[in-house]
Structures are given as structure tokens and as C-alpha cells.
Chain A
Amino acid sequence: MPDVDSAYGELAASRGLELLSSCSTDPLTPLLVEAEGAPLSPALRGALADGVEGIVGQLAYKRNKTFRFHVAYTQVPAATAFAPRVFCIRRGRSTRDDEFYGFEARHSKLWTESTALNERFAVTTSPFQDPVWLRRLFSPSFVDWLRTAEPADFSFELAYGAVLGSIEENEPSADGLAALCDATAHVATRIREECEE
């Protein structure tokens, strides 16, 4: 099994990313909220892909048990005006083990228009999301890409312009991390394109 530090080192070397010992996080998306300020460690900063700057790193936190994700973060500020929140989360993913509250703020609703997408992901948006814009974002080609996108455990969150791609694998290889960067960059690019339409 590859060592996490060496996988990040290998990715940094192959893509020219800056290696950081750790990187602090803010509660910008649901996953980062669950992490309660846990830093990304190790972390890399630079171009996730052509034209998409961001940070990739390991996010580990404890909510009864330890959860470990590898995340890639970038921004598409223009998205806030069109879709404040879009969460496309792999079905079956768990991000905490200490949930005791039966009621939560009504901040999202399931988007079920694409059955193909819903086989792999639970897609939620703001309850007051413009459905037309969302249909345009999830174009047939984007849905097709998401259905088959690598890594297999990829999920993404868009919250007020912050785009966070993530995988659950404990010790991904450099190739696995590169796939995470590529997938996150692809999502960010797609969102940016739709904002510019």
C-alpha cells in the first residue's frame, strides 16, 4: 500500500505543486464543517489542472471514529449567484458517526431529475434553486461524465463558490490523487462555463 506522504511527494513532483506541511481550513462546505477546523496535512498548492488553481490535501478528523478523506479545493465565485449550493455526494458515504439530532435546518432538497446520476450520487441543492440553471449545469454530457468519472469514490460540494472534490480512500496512490485533482478541476470548469453562459 503506498505511503500517503510519498504519494503527495510524487504528485508534487509530477505536477509542479508546492508541498505544504499543513494548510488550515475554514468551514466553507459541509465536509469542512464536519472536520471542525482540522487542517489539510500533507497538502499541495498550485494548478490542479490547466487553468484551475487550488489545494489538494489529506483531511482527517474524529467524530467518534476517525474519518479520512483526500480533498481538492478550488473556487468559482461566480457560481454563488446561480447556485449557492450543489452537493453531489456518492451514495453510502458517511462523514460522521455522532449524529444525534433528528431535525436540521432546511438548507437542501434532493434533486432527482437525473435517474442516471442518482444511481451513483445523492444530489442536493438549495430548496430555492432555479431548476433551469441546474438542468443546464447537469447537461447530458456532464451527467455521463459524472456517472463514470474516476476516482470511483469521488464526490463534490459547491457552496457559495467554494468547490471541494473528495475521495474516501485511506492511502491513495499519486495516480489516485491526480485523478482527484483532474475530476475536481473538471467540475469547477463545468460550473464556470455554465456561469459564463
Chain B
Amino acid sequence: MQLNKVGIGLIAFFGLGGLAIALAPLFVSLPAEAVLTMVLLGGIWALVAFGLVLYARHSQRKAAHQDWIFQQGVRGTATVLDAGSSAKVNEMPLMSLRLDLEVPGSARREVRRREIMPVFAAARMQPGLRLPVYVNPEDADDFILVW
């Protein structure tokens, strides 16, 4: 997954909004109960923003790792044996794939993979489809499927 413009907007909205709500009592005189409520509410908003930032950083690291495998990995082929989707994440199908993996230097094997992909890519996932894969030279279970 990768952060998009809406995600940046959400982080800014919850982060800045949370700070504004939490700090507002410093500039406006309010009863103690209202101050507590605003600090709590602002804190929750800021936590949401923080969580989104953490997830974005995790996604970024994962993307950098995938890029490294693409550059340094061993190229092979995956044949789709079975494909289906029973869930959606942000309007995109979460595809469950059963793949026949052929990588030079390794025994042919069957693996399962779950990938979130846009609808136009998911529509192509049919048994028999052959896709390139790049395998981490240090870990045969770590691979990227190029769809």
C-alpha cells in the first residue's frame, strides 16, 4: 500500500486539527471539564495522525525493500493456478492467489499469496496467467509478484 494525496490530507487534518483542539484551552478560558474534553479529543486526533504516519512509513520501507528485490533478485516465473477474492480494501480486491513458482536454482513449488490490487489488474488474474517474479537471493520465500 502507498500513501496518496487523500492520505496526506487526512494526516494533516487529524494532526493539525488535533493540535489545535488540544492547545485551544491555552488561548481561551474554559471550564476545567471542557479543557479535559478538548485535550482528550485533540490527543485522539493526534494519535490517529501518528498511526497513519507510522503505517505510511512502514509502507515506504516495504516499498523500498520490494525495489531492492526488483533490482537484485533472481527473476523467475509464476503461473496462476487459482485466483479469487472475498474481500475488498479501500475498494480494491484482496486477491488470494495460488501460484506455481519456477525460479532458476530452486525447485519448482506451489505457493499462496495475497495481494491487494486495483480492479483492472485483478480482472486479469485467471488460471494459466504467467507473471514475472523476483526472488530475494537470500530468502526464497521473499519475492515480489509483478502484476
Contacts and interface: CB of A to CB of B under 8 A. Distances in A.
B72 interface: no
Q: Which of B63, B66, B118, B124 has the most CB of A within 10 A?
A: B118
Contacts of A119: none
A43 B59 CA distance: 42
Interface string B115-129: 111111101100000
Interface string A112-139: 0000000000000011100000000000
A144 to B, nearest CB: 29
B120 A28 contact: yes
B55 interface: yes
A97 to B, nearest CB: 12
A15 B118 CA distance: 36
**Residue in A29, A30, A105 with the greatest tally of chain B CB atoms within 10 Å:** A105
B8 to A, nearest CB: 8
Given A100-B6, A102-B52, A106-B59, A127 B67 contact: yes
B3 interface: yes
Given A99-B6, A126-B146, A127-B63, A105 B120 contact: no
B68 to A, nearest CB: 12
Nearest to A80: B124
Q: What range describes how many residues of B lie at the interface?
A: 35 or more
A26 interface: yes
A84 interface: yes
B147 interface: yes
Given A32-B120, A33-B118, A33-B120, A102 B10 contact: yes
A106 B123 contact: no
A94 B124 CA distance: 25
B118 A105 contact: yes
B144 interface: yes
A160 interface: yes
Interface in A83-115: 84-85, 99-107
Interface of B: 1-4, 6-11, 52, 55-56, 59, 63, 66-67, 70, 90-92, 115-121, 123-124, 132, 134, 144, 146-147
Interface of A: 26-30, 32-33, 84-85, 99-107, 126-128, 159-160
Given A29-B120, A160-B124, 12 more contacts: A28-B123, A100-B6, A102-B7, A103-B7, A103-B55, A104-B2, A105-B115, A106-B59, A127-B63, A127-B66, A128-B70, A128-B146
Q: Which 5 A-B pairs have the closest CB atoms?
A: A102-B7, A101-B90, A103-B1, A106-B2, A102-B10
